[in-house]
Amino acid sequence: MTTIIDGNEVASEVRGELEGAIGTLADRGVTPGLATVLVGDDPASETYVNMKQRDCEEVGIEGIHVDLPGDASSEELYDTIEELNADPEVHGYLVQDPVPNQIDYREVIRRIDPAKDVDGFHPENVGRLVAGDARFKPCTPHGIQKLFEAYDVETEGADVTVVGRSDIVGKPMANLLLQKAEGGNATVTVCHSRTEDLAAKTRNADVVIVASGVTELVDGSMLSEGATVIDVGISRVDADNEKGYELVGDVEFESAKEVAGAITPVPGGVGPMTRAMLLYNTVKAASEAEDVPVEL
Ligand code: NDP
C-alpha cells in the first residue's frame, strides 16, 4: 500500500505547536508581525499573499500587507523595504516573487534586514544555511524535512535525487540534505535542465524530490520500487471546472503511486507545509528580536 503523505495534517500539527510559542510571546506582550509586499496584480501571487495573510490571522500573527502598483519603481520598493526594516512591529516580511521586470529582485533581497528575512533568501542567510548554521531555513525545503520527520522517512545514508536547482527550492533542499545533522546525511544528486538521462538519476534514488515547474515530468517508470516521492510542483492548467483551472504537480501521480512507497499529492502535499513554515520562521524572528525564548 502506498502511503499518501498528508501535508494538510502535518501542517496543522506544526501550526498547533506554534500556538504554544505564540502564547508564550503574548504573555510577554509580543504579537509576532509578518508583512507581505506585492508589486503588481499577478493573480497567482495575489492568491499566495492572501493565503499567507489568512494563515497569520488564524494563528494569532499580526498580518500587514503592502500593495504597490505594477509600474512601481525600484526606489519606491526600496523605500517600503526601509520602512519595514525599521518597523519594530514587523518581525518578518517578504516581497512576493515574481516582481515586475523593472525591478532587480536580487537587489531587493539584499536590502531586506537578514533578521527579518523569513523566506531565508538574503545572501547572509543563504551563507549561514550552507555553513550548517541556518537562521531561517527556506520554507519549502524546511517543510519537506518536517514531512520526512512526520512519516519517518530516513535521509541518513539514503540516495536522494533533487530535480531542480532553484534558489528557493532545489539548492537549499540539496544543502539541507547534505548537512551533517538530523534530516541530512543523505547522498544527494541534483538535476536540472541540462542533466542527461534524468530517469537514471531518479531511478537510482530512495527519495525523489521534484521541483522543476514542468508538469508531470517524472512518472512511475522513472522511479524505483518503494521510493518516497515529494512533488513540489504547482502549475495551473486550464480545466473545465468552476475555477477554470486545476493544479498539477511535476509528478504523474497515477503512475508514480503504483511504484512509490510514499508520495505527496498536489494539492495537499508540500504546499501547506511551505505556508506553515513561513509562520514558524515569523515566530522564530519575533522570539529572537524580542529576546523571548520559545520552544520551536
Ligand atoms: P524554477 O523555475 O526557479 O526552477 C526549476 C528548476 O527545474 C530549474 O533548476 C530547472 O533547470 C529545472 N528543470 C526545468 N526543466 C527540467 C527538466 N526537463 N529536467 C530537469 N530539470 C529541469 O522553479 P522553482 O524551484 O521556483 O519551482 C518549481 C516548481 O515548484 C514550480 O511549479 C513552482 O510553482 C513550485 N513551487 C511550489 C512550492 C510549494 O510550496 N509547493 C513552493 C515553491 C515552488 P535549470 O536551472 O537548468 O533551468
The response to whether 164 counts as a known ligand-binding position is yes
Q: What is the mean pLDDT of residues 244-265?
A: 97
Looking at residue 177, its pLDDT comes to: 98
Domains by residue range for the chain, with CATH: 29-113 (3.40.50.10860), 139-271 (3.40.50.720)
The response to whether 221 counts as a known ligand-binding position is no
Mutate to test the pocket of ligand 1, among 119, 208, 234 (most ligand atoms within 8 A of CB): 234
Distance (Å) from CA 164 to ligand 1 centroid: 5
**Which protein residues are within 6 Å of ligand 1, measured from CB?**
140, 163-166, 168-170, 191-195, 198, 211-214, 217, 232-235, 270-271, 274
pTM of the model: 0.98
Residues 21-48 have pLDDT tens digits of 999 999 999 999 999 999 999 998 999 9
Residues 200-252 have pLDDT tens digits of 999 999 999 999 999 999 999 999 999 999 999 999 999 999 999 999 999 99
Q: What does the mean pLDDT of the chain come to?
A: 97
Buried b / exposed e along 162-195 (16+ C-beta atoms within 10 A): bbbbeebbbbbbbbbbbbeeebbebbbbbbeeee
Looking at residue 253, its pLDDT comes to: 98
Distance (Å) from CA 24 to ligand 1 centroid: 38
**Ligand 1, atom 39: closest residue by C-alpha:** 271
Enzyme catalytic residues: 52, 96, 119
Q: What is the mean pLDDT of residues 92-106?
A: 97
Q: Would you place residue 2 in the very low, low, confident or very high pLDDT band (cuts 50, 70, 90)? A: very high
Q: What is the mean pLDDT of residues 69-94?
A: 98
Q: What is the mean pLDDT of residues 132-155?
A: 98
Looking at residue 131, its pLDDT comes to: 97
Looking at residue 269, its pLDDT comes to: 98
ipTM over 0.95: yes
Distance (Å) from CA 135 to ligand 1 centroid: 24
Q: Which ligand 1 atom sits nearest the alpha carbon of residue 170?
A: 25
